[in-house]
Structure 1
Amino acid sequence: MRIFRFESIDSTSDYLKNKKDIENYDLAIAEIQTKGRGRRGNNWFSSKGMALFSFALKAEKNISIEEYSKLPLVTGISVLRGIRRIEELDLKFKWTNDIYLDDKKLSGILVEKVDDFFIIGIGINVNNKELGLAEETAISLTNKTKNSYIIEDIIFTVIDEFKKYYKRFCDGEWEYILDEINSKNYLKGKTVDIVSINGTAAGIVNEIAQDGRLEVEVSGIKQLFNIGEVHISRMKNETE
């Protein structure tokens, strides 16, 4: 593993995407990102004290691109387990790419494909107390526990967990990994507004299906949704 460290960079993911001699598990770490982003191109607020990193993963030729659509989910459970090795917290996984703590976002994940590589970008709120405009919807480990952490310990622990889960994924253990993910499913049982090409409808989330899609019960009928087909605009507990 080659490690590239930066005090400040526009994006660790873009750095790896533009690297000509990229190698498997190349790792870029930054203290600050000036153009960090999440899914759909949303900006990821960056402040000092976060774990901001991306790593390269060479695609296996015997695994289809359809199977690789599950990679954000594999990454998500890896991040969750990695953080829990550092601090025993009640973390949840929000389909398809966020880790939640106390109903607030702790971590975000972005997986992008470039030629024969996937670039996996991860941001974790660690020691940062300032969360910018996301104050009401985000949380950091320090805000929760009042402890301070060695950021690179968290990064390397997460990558260690990813390697374990990725090996299991390649070995055909997706069904067991998915069971773990669903046991931490933040959306399960919540009523959500689903915005699709057919309009807006309210539904109750059941679980993440075998193919990685989200199973939602809409008007008594279970339906499966891809991440590109829906936008979850509201969440509340079914009992509320």
Structure 2
Amino acid sequence: MKVEFFQSLPSTQEFLIEALKNGEIKPPHMIVAHNQTKGVGSRGNSWEGLGGNLFMSFCISEDELPSDIPPPSISIYFSMLMREVLSEFGSRCWLKWPNDFYVDDLKIGGTLTNKVDEIYICGMGINLASAPENAGILDIKTSVDELVWDFVSMLDKKILWKPIFSKFRIDFCKSKSFITHIANRAVSLQDAEICEDGAILLNGEKVYSLR
């Protein structure tokens, strides 16, 4: 994967999407910014781009990934790869369904994935050095460069969905004390059950991560 570093960008994901459309880059390709001024979070919310934090987006073709990954749960897959990297560094970070990074009960980052034709475009942000009000910071000291290159190495391993999901299932137990947003509604995960494909069963309805 080719990796490009920028001092500042409005949004790594929007930059990547535009470059793809214009034929300026091709997958696999990653964009990393040291500062991000107009980042996009889940549900279209802004993601505050404070200096020293991780802001990255990458594109990868579907056929470069393990074929057993359930497409609606691709954000879970990418997020769990980063969680594995963080765990190897000694972090207590866990993944709240479907794609939010937490330390204890504070959100420290998240993942947002889109698909254009057969290409996945994933944006990821993690608070390494500072955080806005009511958010947390990663519980270990590391650098943007270290996380980026270790994540690329983890992605290159092409780990199958099953071992990734077995670890995510453990994290999901912690999600039960939180809410998530489904169809713009805040919904408790207390009674939710996790399915093998990363979806949840909630009030008899199967719900997938759609971001």
Q: TM-score, normalised by structure 1?
A: 0.74
Contact 1:194 1:203 in 2 (8 A): no
Measured at CA, do residues 15 and 208 of structure 1 come closer, stay the same or move farther in structure 2, by a change above 3 Å? same
Partner of 1:235: none
Q: TM-score, normalised by structure 2?
A: 0.84
Contact 2:129 2:137 in 1 (8 A): yes
Higher RCO (CA < 8 A, seq sep 6+): 2
SS of 1:99's equivalent in the other structure is strand
SS of 2:40's equivalent in the other structure is coil
Of 226, 230, 233, which residue of structure 1 is paired with 2:208? 226
Contact 2:42 2:112 in 1 (8 A): yes
What are the residue-to-residue correspondences of 1:57-96 with 2, within 5 Å? 57-60=60-63, 67-86=70-89, 88-96=90-98
Gaps of 5+ in 2: none
- Structure 2 Cα separation of the partners of residues 28 and 83 of structure 1: 20
What are the residue-to-residue correspondences of 1:158-237 with 2, within 5 Å? 158-164=151-157, 167-169=158-160, 174-185=161-172, 187-190=174-177, 192=179, 204-216=190-202, 218=203, 222-227=204-209
Partner of 1:45: 48
Contact 2:176 2:189 in 1 (8 A): no
SS of 1:28's equivalent in the other structure is strand
Partner of 1:233: none
Structure 1, 37-46 or 177-186: larger mean CA deviation? 177-186
Task: Give the length in aligned residue pairs.
Answer: 206
Runs of 4+ aligned structure 1 residues displaced above 4 Å come to 61-64, 191-197, 199-203
SS of 1:204's equivalent in the other structure is coil
Output one character per residue of 1:153-198: Cα deviation in whole Å (capped at 9) or x when no partner.
Answer: 012112222333xx233xxxx333211111122544436487659x
- Structure 2 Cα separation of the partners of residues 159 and 186 of structure 1: 28
Measured at CA, do residues 77 and 63 of structure 1 come closer, stay the same or move farther in structure 2, by a change above 3 Å? closer
Question: What is the alpha-carbon root mean square deviation over aligned residues?
Answer: 2.8
Contact 2:39 2:47 in 1 (8 A): yes
Of 53, 58, 69, which residue of structure 2 is paired with 1:55? 58
Partner of 2:145: 152
Contact 2:179 2:186 in 1 (8 A): no
